[in-house]
Amino acid sequence: MTMAYRICKTFEIENGHMLSRHPDKCRFPHGHSRRVEFVLEAAGLDENGMVCDFKILKEVMEDYLDGWDHSLAMNTEDPRYPMMREAYGGQIVAFEGVDPTTEVMAKALFDECARRLVAYRDRPDPRYRLGDGVRLVSVKVWETSSSWAEYRG
């Protein structure tokens, strides 16, 4: 079913990763200035003339993304993972048994946002209403100014 209205909320973070299975330079720790875009849609608008208030996305995702900001994403099967986790603690974002490619990150962020939106909708008295017809369409993660990966639900 095609919906009529879409909105996009963008966040920016500095985030590193290392791809232990990569045959070239990406196997070493390196960072990116990432832009993360969350797209939501609905067939109609709410009583305020919106798909939903952008503040909902900020409220549900800002703290989670803050945990990724200035951190290093790693495959838990990388032999260096235990040492890096011990040295840097919460600044190491664990990806269980998979290299944290930008594609993998996009799916992880999609899944987390979808889960958090459901939890927000189920609150007894949220500050901003999130209609039942609003759904998360996609998450796009920019790795550089010319490269991105997207996951669609």
Q: Where are the domains of the chain?
A: 5-152
* Backbone torsions φ then ψ of 13, nearest 5 degrees: -140, 155
* Cβ partners under 8 Å of residue 24, min gap 6: none
Q: Per-residue pLDDT for 2 more than 80? A: no
Residue 41 token pair: 């849609």
Integer Rg of the chain from CA:
17
Q: Tell me what percent of the residues of the chain surpass a pLDDT of 90.
A: 93
Please state which CATH number belongs to domain 5-152: 3.30.479.10
Q: Given pLDDT bands bounded at 50, 70 and 90, which one contains residue 153?
A: confident
Measured on CA atoms in the order 134, 136, 142, 145, is the torsion positive or negative? Answer: negative
* pLDDT score for 125: 86
Residues 64-87: what's their mean pLDDT? 97
- pLDDT band at 40; cut points 50, 70, 90: very high
Average pLDDT score over the chain: 95
Phi/psi-derived region of residue 43, left when phi > 0, alpha when psi is between -120 and 50, beta in every other case: alpha
Average pLDDT, integer, range 81-89: 97
pLDDT level of residue 136 (50, 70, 90 thresholds): very high
What is the token pair recorded at 49?
């003339």
pLDDT at 3: 63
Q: How many CA atoms lie within 13 A of 13 on its CB side?
A: 21
In 51-116, beta strands by DSSP E: 71-75, 92-95
pLDDT at 15 over 70: yes
pLDDT score recorded for residue 92:
98
Instruction: Report d(CA 19, CA 139) in Å as an integer.
Output: 21
